[in-house]
Amino acid sequence: GTTRIFLTKIPFFKEVIVSSFSCESCGVLNSELQPGGKIQEKGVKYSVKIKNQKDLNRQVVQTNSATVSIPELQFEIPPNKGVLTTVEGILDKAIEGLSQDQPLRKIQHPEAAAQIEQFIQTLQNLRAAKQEFTIVLDDPSGNSFVENPYPFTYKYSGPSFIRRPQMQWICGLIIEVVFLGEILISLAFVTHAPSTDPAASVHHYTRTKEQNEMLGIYTEVSTQSHIPFYLSYLRNARMSTGVNRSKQSSNSIEKYLVKTNMTTRRSSQVGKSSEKHAESLEKQKEGDPLTLIREDLKKINEKLEETVKSTHLQELVTNIVSAIVKKNREEIEKEIEEKVEKRCSEIEKVCKTRENDLNEKIDGLNMDITNLREKLVECNTEMVKMKSTLIETVKTAQKAEEKANYNEQYSRKNNIKIYGVKEDRRENTEERVIQLLSDKAGVKVNPDEILAVHRIPKREKDMHKPILLKLKNTDSKAKIMRKRKQVRENSGGVRLADDVTFYNTKLISRLQDHRYIDSAWYFNGYVYGQSGETRYKFNIHDDIDRRLKSKR
């Protein structure tokens, strides 16, 4: 992914670091805002009264140690990642967070979901500025900020001063020269800070021990009321930097006293004669504060000479720390080994239990597989038998169907179908057929030769119903069928045809549609096809391609 970091300054506030991360592979996006300076000496607490839409548009810098709350709703948002947002953005983020799991919550906990839905509606009313509320931003680090939208002014002024040693200690600045007392420089300065905000109040407070630990601040300065501050400072300096560093600090103080011409210079190494002279001077200046300071410095030097040197102290601390680390390492290794052995035994028991369960399941599956194989063999045997039976049944059915078709066709052997004769409700079909054959074909048919004559259902809507003519013998039919061409030419649409069964009609259609069959027809109870110069006799279940290949 790609990480971008940008250092910028917010007007009337301070420098901040804006960072973002994006991954082109998975599409993850993330952004965060962090203070660009140090942690402030005091925490800050902003309380802003939100009355209208303009107040909702206030910009807010929320660090990762800030807590946001709305007292009217007893609602609090714990510290999260730092963001640059607005009051409206904080409400939107809260609504989004509460609404995220609502569909699942409505199924599992309907009552809680209803209460949260009601609370979300209340937040939406606040977001729409339908009611006034107070938003509180509490940041122990002192780096959060709420925008003041009111005009700027130049009415602020104040003194600047040099930090005292205690202030230097708090800020983490250990210097060589220590200034005694407080030196104030009354220099008025003008700032471009915003004017008073009537809707907001800012309260700076001292952090608690827990808040310092949360921010990673663990330094504690121990001061005693009966010890002068500079002595406490020197003691702390000795503890942190060693004997040599403290001697340098005391010498620096003496140099400072010489430069200010507040007393005579006192050498750190004097003989016995100079000590008497110093005592006489001290008696003369018993009430001088600087004399008391010199006495304190002398005592400090004597005590420092009796203390352990920094190298010895470092060696002692190193040995102690090494022993503690070694002991802790042994205890930790022993504890880890015990936990690992215990965990391994538990895992081994679980694995054995699961292995036994799996073995039982595998044995059961093997038995099932054996049974299924036996059943499969039986099914295959039965299927082969059924297949052979089915083939025989199909052959028998085909033979029966062919025989039935032959018998049906044989029963229609002496029948003639007459197509194209117009229908008349008052017609005598027999007389009309006899008259038609006599007029158009010159064939005289006696009524005694006819068994039956009647119209049959038509297949197409626009056609006239065909007439079925049943004759007594084949000779009568042959006499009429010889003249069918003459009837077709003289009658203007009347056509004579054999009475062919349904299966034979389908066979003729198949033959006519085949690419290697030139012509197909019915004659004397059978269906024939012409392929080239060869004539074939077909049955209703014949495979046309196979028949043609067998002849070739």
| pLDDT grade for 204, boundaries at 50, 70 and 90 | confident
Give the mean pLDDT of 126-153.
84
Contact predicate 57/211, CB 8 Å: no
Which has the higher per-residue pLDDT, 301 or 182? 301
Angle, vertex CA 192, rays to CA 186 and CA 193, nearest 5: 95
- In which band, very low, low, confident or very high, does the pLDDT at 43 lie, cut at 50, 70 and 90? confident
Question: For 456-479, what is each residue's pLDDT tens digit?
Answer: 887 777 678 899 999 988 888 888
Q: How many residues does the chain have?
A: 552
DSSP structural state of residue 152: B
Looking at residue 79, what DSSP letter applies?
A: -
Report pLDDT for 147: 84
Q: How do beta strands 29-35 and 43-50 pair?
A: unpaired
| More confident: 338 or 168 | 338
* Mean pLDDT value across the chain: 76
Q: For the segment 249-281, what is each residue's pLDDT rounded down to a tens digit?
A: 444 434 443 444 333 333 344 344 445 445 554
When mean pLDDT is compared over 217-221, 308-312, 420-424, the highest value belongs to 420-424
For the segment 4-26, the average pLDDT, to the nearest whole number, is 72
Confidence of residue 190 (pLDDT cuts 50, 70, 90): very low
Question: How far is it, in rounded angstroms, from Cα 170 to Cα 219?
Answer: 8
Helices (H), 285-309: 289-306
Q: What domains are defined for the chain?
A: 2-154 (2.60.120.1040), 413-499 (3.30.70.1820), 500-552 (no CATH)
Give the bridge partners for 60, in sequence order.
85, 146
pLDDT at position 551 over 50: yes
Q: Express as a percent the part of the chain with pLDDT over 90.
A: 29
pLDDT of residue 306: 58
Q: Contact 334/287 with Cβ under 8 angstroms?
A: no
Task: Give the pLDDT band (50/70/90) at residue 142.
Answer: confident
163 vs 90, which has greater pLDDT? Answer: 90
